[in-house]
Structure 1
Amino acid sequence: MNTTQPRAGDRETILDLFPLSGWGRFKAAFVDLREGLRLLPLAMTLGWLDIKMRYRGSVLGPFWLTITTAVMVIALGFLYAELFGIVLKTYLPFLALSLVLWGYISTLITESTTVFSQETRLIQSARRPFSVFAIQAIIRNLLVLAHNAVVVLVVFLIFDIVPLKIWLILPALGLWIIDSLAITLCLGLFGARFRDIPPIVGSLLQVFFFVTPVIWKPELVGTLGGWLLIDPFYPLLAIIRAPLLGETLPLVIWEAALAHSAVLIVLAAVFFARFRARIAYWV
């Protein structure tokens, strides 16, 4: 029998077998998020490795996505500019920027539904903060967004568009990062618990692509434009799109974006704190 007593300087690990309740769950969720941010270099490395492994053996690598985006912008740009009766110089920069931003949103939301379920082995083999997997997915999609941004840059150069107030997108980018983390954690939980979530989310994104001003301008709906504020994607697109295109952004759009984000953050905090401890069992 080992009768060795712990020394004064030793750290003792205490395993609490009782589930946390009340504010204890929120505290544990906060610690998880803090530790995930502390492992940001690891998440960045894993996100970059995901890109490399996805296009391993490819000559152009992730630039295939850039080429695909460029072809779509050119094809849809000439077609819809003629259908909507809009000058190409005005419509093509709008479309290029919208498709690139929507590509980030739709891909991140789609991947967030499996952000935990596809990491079953890592989650069950070692103890690490769950938020690091969400951060890894965000880093991966930000890298893809950076590749596709080349299309927007080329279109802006062709039509001589110079954003004079580019600094206005900085708070918008900050809000995008916060929302990205919230939606990834929230949908990651639901996707781990209910395997029907990925196809449901994919179907809803297809609907939102057409009802959100991505390939069409919000001015085309006239007096019905106020109803667009109910769409959670429209304000998020507008707060980045308007400054880059040199357009004036009404304050009500920022208010709508902050309202949608507040609801999303609260839901993500509640669900992540409530069900975080069950992720390892669900996957």
Structure 2
Amino acid sequence: MRGLSLVDIWGTLGWLDVRQRYRRSVIGPFWVTLSLAAFVVGLGITYGTLFGMTMGDYLPYLCVGTVVWMLLSGFILEGCSAFTGAEAAIKQIPAPLSIHVYRMVWRLVVIFMHNAVIIALVLAYFAINPGWNGFLAVPGLLIVIVNGVAFALFFGTLSARFRDIPPLMANLIQTLFFVTPVLWQVEHLKERRIIAEWNPFYHLIEIVRAPLLGGSISGHSWTFALLFTLVNCAVAFAFYARFRWRIPYWI
């Protein structure tokens, strides 16, 4: 909790990370947004045709799902290097190690806010007005961010000890993308919906996506997401508390 309270440190470092990454770039982090927009439009046209869906139904679904997926996957992939990537700072600055996790999470949230422009444009283009229901996406997003902190603490600590974890997770995340309802809808599974129903990433995406598309979040998705968050946080914080003193020696 002491690391979380040092918001002026990790907040500034995270913001500087974004500025440094796109230094001397004209449009900065919006390059990520443009790349993601091209990806969404290309897949939307292709898969929308394959699934026989209209662009007005499929593209907003794909857009919101992809943007949230990028945030979730980033928490895991960049979380793996949360400590190893901050080796110099950890060995030279006497500060809680967790600030490097919060720094990484804040950096990804800033990039997510840039990518959210795509969602706003797509919803506006297809005249989708979620109304007051859309504000339910805010607590859903907060749950996603809390899980992001837990993912980063766990995989960051594990990766500090075992350097095979980052490439392993990169391959696993790539596979999870195709088995998570981002490109396709749960209804396409028919009697095999259990593949999605037991996928925590589906529920974490759905509690943000459903309100923005004007739908309602099922009680099952809320329950699953909250239970997964509790378990995820309990495991991650216990693991980090047990091994955090070894991290400076491992890196």
Shorter-chain TM range is over 0.9
Q: Does 1:129 align with 2:96?
A: yes
Q: Tell me which amino acid in the other structure corresponds to 1:136.
A: R
Corresponding position: 1:194 with 2:162: yes
Which amino acid is the alignment partner of residue 192 of structure 2? L
Deviation of the 1:112 alpha carbon: 0.4
Higher relative helix content: 2
Is the Cα–Cα contact under 8 Å of residues 75 and 149 in structure 2 kept in the other structure?
no
| Candidates 78, 91, 96, aligned match of 2:58 | 91
Q: CA RMSD in A?
A: 1.0
> In the alignment, is residue 231 of structure 1 matched against residue 199 of structure 2?
yes
- Structure 1 stretch displaced more, 272-281 or 34-43: 34-43
SS in structure 2 opposite 1:160?
coil
Alignment match, 2:149:
181
- d(CA) in 1 for partners of 2:94, 2:45: 52
Is the 8 Å Cα contact of residues 137 and 207 (structure 2) preserved in structure 1? yes
Distance apart, 1:85 and its partner CA: 0.5
In the alignment, does 2:63 pair up with 1:63?
no
Q: Which runs of 5+ in 1 are unaligned?
A: 1-33
Equivalent AA in structure 2 for residue 169 of structure 1: A
Report runs of 4+ in structure 1 exceeding 4 Å deviation. Answer: none
Deviation at 1:57, TM superposition (A): 1.4
1:140 maps to which residue? 107
**Alpha-carbon separation, structure 2, partners of 1:169 and 1:71:** 24
Q: Which amino acid aligns with 1:126?
A: I
> One-letter code of the match for 2:165?
I
Within the alignment, does 1:119 sit opposite 2:86 as a pair?
A: yes
Q: Which has the larger radius of gyration?
A: 1
Q: Secondary structure at the match of 1:266?
A: helix
- SS of the residue aligned with 1:60? coil
Matched, 1:171 2:139: yes
TM-score by length of 2: 0.97
Give me the whole-angstrom Cα distance separating, in 1, the residues matched to 2:234 and 2:2.
Answer: 20
Structure 2 unaligned blocks of 5 or more: none
The one-letter amino acid paired with 2:8 is: P
Q: Which deviates more from structure 2 when the two are superposed, residues 141-150 or residues 247-256?
A: 247-256
Give me the whole-angstrom Cα distance separating, in 2, the residues matched to 1:135 and 1:89.
37
Number of the residue aligned with 1:100: 67
Corresponding pairs, count: 250
The answer for the alignment partner of 1:271 in structure 2 is 239
* Residue in 1 that maps onto 2:120: 153
